A = this chain, B = another copy of it.
Amino acid sequence: MTKASAAVALITLGVDDLPRATRFYCDLGFEKSASQSQTSVSFFRAGGVVLSLFDRRALADDAGLPATPRAPFGGITIARTLPSREAVDDAYAHALASGATALKPPQEVFWGGYSGYVADPDGHPIELAWNPFFPMRPDGSIDLPM
């Protein structure tokens, strides 16, 4: 069967306080779309993917799922890759100053990189990593070697 390559075009984080979450991702340097964002949803350019923020209950309802209470670990992480260990340290400190919660301070990790984790104001884990094996594009996305 011939088919086009599949893409993840958009990631949506369910949030409890949209203005708070929107401020947080703006502070982190994500570019909010003025024309597409509305009072009920925020859209950001996030490299090669769109990041959106939407009310957690409304998102569960949209997906046809019960809006169960937030678990400590939701089963998904998102990651920013940074060009150096120092850039990871800076991004980690900046995230904490912007209202993130520390999960794991940046450290050398088993796979040969340097990585730390913070949680956003709604508890979504964000990895901040330097990965010497993944070339980066100018927009911050990864040019994954095949």
Contacts and interface: CB of A to CB of B under 8 A. Distances in A.
A59 to B, nearest CB: 6
A7 B71 contact: no
B8 A46 contact: yes
Interface string A37-63: 000000111111111000010011011
Contacts of A114: none
A75 B124 CA distance: 8
A132 interface: no
Interface size class of A (residues with CB under 8 A): 35 or more
B49 A141 contact: yes
A127 interface: yes
A62 B73 CA distance: 11
Most chain B CB within 10 A, of A7, A31, A123, A133, is at A7
A70 interface: yes
A112 B5 CA distance: 26
Contacts of A96: none
Contacts of A31: 5, 146
Interface of A: 3-14, 25, 28-31, 33-36, 43-51, 56, 59-60, 62-81, 103-104, 109, 115, 117, 122-125, 127, 133-134, 136, 139-142, 144-146
